[in-house]
Amino acid sequence: MPKSSFALTNLTAGELSPLLKGRFDISRYSNGAKTIENFIIHQAGGCMFRPASRYVAEAKTSSDGKVRLCPFQFSTTQSYILEFGDNYVRFYANNGQVVSGTPVETVTPYAIADIFDLQFAQDADTLYISHNSYPTYKLQRTSATTFTMTAVGFSRGPFLDVNITATTMTPSAATGAGITLTASVASFTADNIGSFYRIKDGVVLITAYTSTTVVTGTVQEEPDGTAGNLGGTAATDDWAEGSWSARRGYPNSVAFHEQRLVFANTPHEPQKFWASVVQEYENFNVDDASADDSYAYKIATEQVNAIRWLSSAPKSMQIGTSGATFSASSGSANEPITPSSIVVQRDTTYGAAEVLPKRIGNYLYYIQRNTYVLRELGYSFDIDSQQALDMTLLSDHILRDGDGATEMAYQQSPHNRIWIVRDDGEMAVMTRNREQEVTGWSRVVAGNDTRGQGSYESVAIIPGDGGDDQIWVSVKRYIDGAYVRYIEYFEEEAFDQNWDIFYVDSGLSLDSPKTITGATKASPVVVTATAHGFADGDQIRIDEVVGMTELNGEFFKVANKTDDTFELTNLSDVDIDGTAYTAYVSSGEAREMITAISGLTHLEGETVSVIADGAVTDDATVASGAITLGEKAGVVHVGLPYTGTVRLLPSSDGSATGTGQTKNRRSYIATLRLYRSLGGKVGIDYDYLDELGNEIQSMYRIYLRAPNDVMNQPTALITADVEKQIDTDWDKETELIVQQDQALPLNILAIVVRSDLQEK
């Protein structure tokens, strides 16, 4: 009976489509899996139990409907997350909600039904916001806690085509405010208020409606600031109506390109885009059509291709439409677009959905019109043209099974990833590295509340200050008998100390270290920690002292405290004699050990997972916003549980007569190469998965804390090969399962499975 040894060295192909189960002939089959849920793929090849989410605040319109998150990066060190809800926007920064007594909030015109159709373009402290049904607004930051929302006061256009009919306009005056325009035939509606009319060489902003032939307005200033002038009061057929108004609709899309603010797609002109004067983003003056003047262009195609989005690329502006993608350029290398030099060409025939695209380097990633496909748009030397590769080709289920994509965000650090919210509330995550040919999909499912898994509704990512990019989500959960929406962010993937292990959703932490600045070589040891707040008899743990390392990781009681100092005794109240200790040099932290954890009202009534000083302890139920631990701890993380699963595909290896597929197999040993991990289960049946704990303990003599054990040192993390015997029967489709259902890290670098094989 032949034996086989199958080695999975990487998972860079990610979760593969069920339709690929028969394609074990392709190389990516051996690098893929049937299921990768709540694990994230590394560019290096392995996968990790996904980071947990930390609770920040409840959304204002928590029970009324979805809220949308949007990034707003003010500077390299100051980034905000915006919460758009029903006619409001709130703000988050520095891991918390921006408050000034109460949450800082700005009124917006946007109804909750429209917030996911908003598009954004940012310049420094100003965020331009577009939507077909609303005038363009700008959100401006004036201080760390002050924001304003105002309608943009555009000047000098843009305009529809010049009038070619016999209809005339007669102004009552050539300058000033309060003038009337009288049309020779019915030409106006009440929806013209707020729109422009060009009358000969001047521009009138309509401020009031009288009738279908009479409106009132103000003559705009000239671009140089001088008073505007219509050139007389005689009737004229030289006029043009403004492109944007309540009557004609407003632009749907917005982007910055080549120092211009560009808008596109009104209901009246869905295939047209307009660019501002260079570095004058609210000025659409055409004047003499010089190189820096505003320009407009209508894409001419054989069918209606409504523009869905705009994206600035190094040598062109890429345009996604309902039926194709296009590029707009000057037609000359290294030359910008001008009113007299613009070329628009079709790149692909794959239409785009209204989900805003994201860019990784020179490649643009966008959702196809059906919302089931992610495409990578970029230049191909092979065909000397743009092409849009299907990034879901081998994983066509990843968006389709979730009823399509609704939103997308890009994470640059620590790895290039695209996070996509699916309509069913899960997130599909693609790890991408073109140089190493990594295209790996996995799925992220929100932690469990009393009615099952939560539902992700929005995602936004802001740069980390020297660390990971920060992933923010809006999550719908069922808490204390009602649906709520919470704003949360994911923790960084790496952590330093074992007590920083944080693998719970919507979690909060108790961690209040007091900084130590001195410790005496005396009996008893006297510790200096300014304004420590401890009381005599408090139990504490000391860590990270430089010099007097004898104190690190030990438990003490506080005695004879002053405001800034305290003496140390052991837990039996005997003084600690430090005369033989190493001299204190610097640093150190002291934490009080407690059992009562409060401040958990957002998880009222929920069964929560608890990590105390780096180890999982008993689950608890939140009552009156609090839980009680069975033993004291200094660092405690509390939140909703979630489970991660990797399920491999049937193996092809190990047959003397060819493939091992379709042959009876009995897998009896699985070896997992782990990095800084704890916990985990292995098996081939979800109902009979075996814990890895006993193997780790027996092989490496690592102390794994039981739920009721007395707290001591944080549990050591495992970086080693862990071998596990598998209790299996003969089967033709053995699919190894690795699962993590504890709030602990599990980083899988490789999996080796040994099997017996029957040739018949």
- 185 token code pair: 């035939």
Specify the 3-state DSSP secondary structure of 492. Answer: coil
pLDDT tens figures, 360-406: 989 999 999 999 999 999 987 777 778 999 999 999 999 999 999 99
CA angle 66, 67, 69 (to 5 degrees): 140
| Mean pLDDT of the 555-575 span | 97
pLDDT at 711 over 60: no
Q: What percent of the chain has pLDDT over 90?
A: 79
What does the pLDDT read at residue 436? Answer: 84
CA–CA separation, 540 vs 543, rounded Å? 10
pLDDT at 754 over 80: yes
| Main-chain dihedrals φ then ψ at residue 414, nearest 5 degrees | -85, -10
Q: Which residues contact residue 423 at a Cβ distance below 8 angstroms, ignoring those fewer than 6 apart?
A: 371, 402, 403, 404, 405, 406
pLDDT at 703 over 80: no
CA–CA separation, 715 vs 738, rounded Å? 21
What does the pLDDT read at residue 85? Answer: 97
| Mean pLDDT of the 485-506 span | 93
- 412 token code pair: 């640059």
The CB density around residue 111, as the number of other CB atoms within 10 Å, is 13
pLDDT tens figures, 643-700: 999 999 988 776 666 777 777 888 889 999 999 999 999 998 898 888 886 555 444 4
Lowest mean pLDDT among 19-33, 332-346, 440-454: 19-33
CA–CA separation, 532 vs 535, rounded Å? 9
CA–CA distance from 625 to each of 510, 600, 638 (Å)? 14, 4, 12
What does the pLDDT read at residue 661? Answer: 75
What does the pLDDT read at residue 201? Answer: 87
Please say whether the beta carbons of 26 and 56 come within 8 A.
Answer: no
Q: Where are the beta strands (DSSP E) in 463-513?
A: 470-479, 482-490, 505-510
DSSP code per residue over 279-315: TBTTB---TT--TTS-EEEE---SS---EEEEEE-SS
CA–CA separation, 459 vs 473, rounded Å? 4
What does the pLDDT read at residue 734? Answer: 82
What does the pLDDT read at residue 464? Answer: 77
CA–CA distance from 224 to each of 203, 205, 283, 287 (Å)? 14, 18, 11, 12
CA–CA separation, 308 vs 319, rounded Å? 8
pLDDT at 461 over 50: yes
CA–CA distance from 483 to each of 480, 573, 609 (Å)? 8, 50, 21
| Nearest residue to 69 via CA among 356, 490, 487, 507 | 487
What does the pLDDT read at residue 743? Answer: 95
What does the pLDDT read at residue 333? Answer: 81
Lowest mean pLDDT among 105-109, 357-361, 474-478, 714-718: 714-718
400 exposed, middle or buried (CB, 10 Å; 0-12, 13-18, 19+)? middle
pLDDT at 121 over 90: yes
What does the pLDDT read at residue 289? Answer: 77
What does the pLDDT read at residue 450? Answer: 87
| Nearest residue to 251 via CA among 228, 234, 268 | 268
pLDDT tens figures, 298-335: 999 888 899 999 999 988 999 999 999 999 999 988 89
What does the pLDDT read at residue 62? Answer: 85
Higher pLDDT, 3 or 559: 559
- pLDDT interval class at 427 (50, 70, 90): very high
pLDDT at 451 over 60: yes
Average pLDDT over the chain, rounded to an integer: 92
pLDDT tens figures, 29-87: 889 999 999 999 998 889 999 999 999 999 998 888 899 999 999 877 789 999 999 99
| Nearest residue to 181 via CA among 222, 159, 221, 210 | 210
What does the pLDDT read at residue 700? Answer: 43
| Mean pLDDT of the 558-574 span | 97
